[in-house]
Structures are given as C-alpha cells and as structure tokens.
Chains A and B, each alone.
Chain A
Amino acid sequence: MSIELDFPAVLERWPNFVGGAILTLELAFFATVSGALLGTLAAVGRGTHSRLIARICKVYVEAIRNTPLLVQIFLVYFGLASIGLKLSAFTVAVVALTINVGAYTAEIMRAGFEAIPRGQIEAAEGLALTRFQIYWHIILLPAVEKVYPALTSQFVLLMLASSVCSQISAEELTAVANYIQSDTYRAFETYIIVAVLYILLSLVMRAGFWGLGLVLFPRRRQLGTPL
C-alpha cells in the first residue's frame, strides 16, 4: 500500500487557508476577550453574599461544562434565529464560544480568587479601600497571575475547539478545509496542512500570552521569576 501525496494541488488554494486561519484567530481573539470578562464576572458572582446570584453563576458554569460545545453552538444558532435575531455565522460563533469559555474561565478564576490570602483583603480593608477597589487593585491581578498558565491553555484550547464552528458555516479554518478537500479530492493533504496551520496558530497565541504576561506582571519581569 502506498500513499501518493499531492500537496501543490492543495497549496495553490493558499489564500483560502490564510483567510480561514485569520478568521479562526479573530474568533479566538473576540471569544477570549469577552469570555475572560464573562468568566471573571461569573467567578466574582459565585463568591458574592447573594445566594441567588451565586446560584445562577453555578448553574451557568455546570450547564456549560456538562454539555458538548457543538450542541451549545446549535442552541445559540437556532435559538437566536427562532427569536428573530438574524446574526452572521461569525457573530453566532463568537457568542457561543464566549459562553463556553466563560464557564471554564469562571472555574479557573475562582481557584485564583481562593488562592488570595485572607490577610491581603484585611490589609486593604484596613486601609479603607472600597470593595471594588479591593477587587481591582488587590485581588484581580494576583489571582490572574496565580492561574495564568491554566487560563492561557484554556484560551488556546478554545481556539482549537472553534473548528466546530465549521458546522454553522462560519468560514474559519476547518470550514475552509472541508470546502477545499471536497473540491480537490485531496482530503489527507488538506488536513495535514490544516493541522500545521493550527499548530502555528497555537504558537502565535502562546507567544501573545507570553508578551501579555510581561506587561501584566512587571514584578515577574523585574525579578526574573518565570510564570
């Protein structure tokens, strides 16, 4: 049994691959930013004194963590359509991915919040800072710092999982690949190229998070402590 690979036949479609890769990065970028925000709010919500808010946040996190991403995407896609909201596949994908990664972010951030020693908060209270100021200045950044590796891995995973959005015809990398392979009948070559492109995208994201870490945690930079 021998395999004949014909990469040039597939590679001549490179503008489509590049377009798909860029769209995947855009999906990941928007979902990461809004998912980080949503997840942080949900983590704060789970720690509030309001039982109702804490319960809502818990139900959200558990519902998302125990259902498949594809089902969530379909729910958002058909759900928004059935209430008359006509959104592009890209927008639907960003919304669905945000909701998904928000739940995982909430769990990671909760671990980060819990790792902040009680004494830090007492010291801040003793200095008359408001609750919001304490969260903003004392809790948030050190909490993110403690869980930064877990957090960034989750966002890279999100980028990889966004391939599922091909199912609602968002024109991201996997959707482009499906299209090219059905056009060229060169499925193996197509997906090898796609796999390499995903690896490159992961490396790009990890480099981005590394740079962001240098900005967010100047103490690490100054003292040379690795994250």
Chain B
Amino acid sequence: MQQTASPTPIVSLRDVQKSFGSLKVLDGVSFAVERGEVLAIIGRSGSGKSTALRCIDRFEKVDGGEIIVCGRRVDLPDIDLRALRQDVGIVFQSYNLFPHLTIEQNITLAPCSVKRMGLSEAKALARKVLAQVGLEEKVHAYPEQLSGGQQQRAAIARSLAMQPKVMLFDEVTSALDPELTGEVLKVIEQLAADGMTMVMVTHEMGFARSIADRIVFMHRGKVHETGPASILTAPTTPELVQFVGTGNLKS
C-alpha cells in the first residue's frame, strides 16, 4: 500500500546546517519522505547520515535550515518535543531496552505514562506488537535474557506500541552478526509492506536496494546523490561508484 503521491511529505529537510564545534557535519542537507515511503540514507562513517536522522527527532539541534515533521517545524526552539516524539518512533543501534524492566514493561511504559492507556489495554497492545516482531513468548523475559537480534526486535516493538506516523532506524543492525541481522531486517521488511513510513540509516546495501523506495547517498555533509534504489546498481557520481564498489554492495 504505497501512497507516494501524497501532497505534503511526512518528513522534509531543507538546507539543514549543523556543526559540532568547528566541524561542519551537515552542509545544506535537503530531502523529503512521503507517506508510506521508505528512504535509506547511506554513506561512509562521518558523512553525517546519523546526524541527519537524529535531527528529524530533534536529538540534535540544527544551526540553520528548515525541518518539518508531521506538519511541525522541528528546527524552531518552541517545538513541542513530546508531541513530536509521539509521532516519530526511533530505534537505535544499541537497542537501549530498559534493563530493569521486562519486555512487556518496556513496551507498556510509554503508552501507560504518555498516552494514559489502561494497563490491561497496554498489555494487549504489547502482545500485538510482540507478535508483529515474532517475540510473543518473550513477553515476561528481561532484556539480558534475549539475543541481540531479539533485543532489537523488542526495541522495534516498543516503538511500534506508540503507533508512530514515521519510524527512524539508526544503523539498527550494525551491532549484529549476519544471522541476527537477517531476522531484524525481516521485521523491517514486513513493516514496509504494511505501509509504514520509514527513514533508515544503514550499511546493508543489499537490503537498502531491495526495500528502499529512494536512496540518499551522503558525502561530506551533503546529499551527494539521490534517486530510486537503482542508483546503487548504476551510480552516476564517482563517489557513489567508489562507495558501492568497495564491497559494500552485497545481498
């Protein structure tokens, strides 16, 4: 169910600038994500791709430019952060499950305390999202009892429970071995098939090619090349040629 022709994008960045001290990390980054679209941001380490992603959820404040997420101006200082973060789900490389809570408690915490959902309703929701990621049987386990892949799937489920309008994935498989990576990617693939709008920073080129509607290749803080997934097989700029040529493109 793709609705790529939706009039206003869910996420749009226009000429975004960001520096850490004297280091310019984002130098005029612009891209947009339509409803139901899957955008993959690729590039070398240090190219600014993670920073760009984190700006969408305002984990980084930008120095200039405009960011609009679900109709909100994220770059303005008076942004309602909590409203923004109810619309945006984010999943991190290091899972960041809460170690002292069971998987069920990890998932029910935000719906109960942010959305004031009743506990029994939240528990039913937890079961539903855990089924989506194939972890129903781990509902009462603690994070440390799960494998890395299972922890990351639980973290995805935790985000899904807030029913976000867009999901951000920040190198979610970088800490996993190939086998565990596969089970996490399968979950993300299913989400894409269900029509979830997603922005992902990834090093999995094969995966990006198969799932992404559009690719943004970042290089030195700029969007160097962008286009449909086919640019990975037929890159036009020498930098992307070199990037996909260095053994990154494997499926």
Chain A residues in contact with chain B, CB under 8 A?
117, 119-120, 122-130, 133, 137-138, 141-142, 145, 217, 219, 222-223
Contacts and interface: CB of A to CB of B under 8 A. Distances in A.
Interface residues of B, number: 28
B244 interface: no
5 contacts: A123-B92, A123-B98, A126-B88, A127-B110, A142-B100
Given A127-B85, A127-B109, A141 B92 contact: no
Given A120-B96, A123-B92, A126-B57, 18 more contacts: A119-B92, A120-B98, A122-B96, A123-B97, A125-B59, A125-B85, A126-B88, A127-B162, A128-B81, A128-B82, A128-B85, A128-B86, A129-B113, A129-B114, A130-B82, A137-B113, A142-B99, A223-B145
B15 interface: no
A128 B165 CA distance: 14
Contacts, number: 65
A190 B133 CA distance: 68
Nearest to B88: A126
Contacts of A125: 59, 81, 85
Contacts of A127: 85, 109-110, 114, 158-159, 162
A28 B98 CA distance: 33
Contacts of A129: 109-110, 113-114
Contact of B100 (A117, A119, A124, A217): A217
A126 to B, nearest CB: 4
Given A119-B92, A223-B144, A128 B98 contact: no
B142 A126 contact: no
B13 interface: no
A120 B158 CA distance: 13
Nearest to A222: B142
B181 interface: no
A219 B141 CA distance: 9
B221 interface: no
B92 A128 contact: no
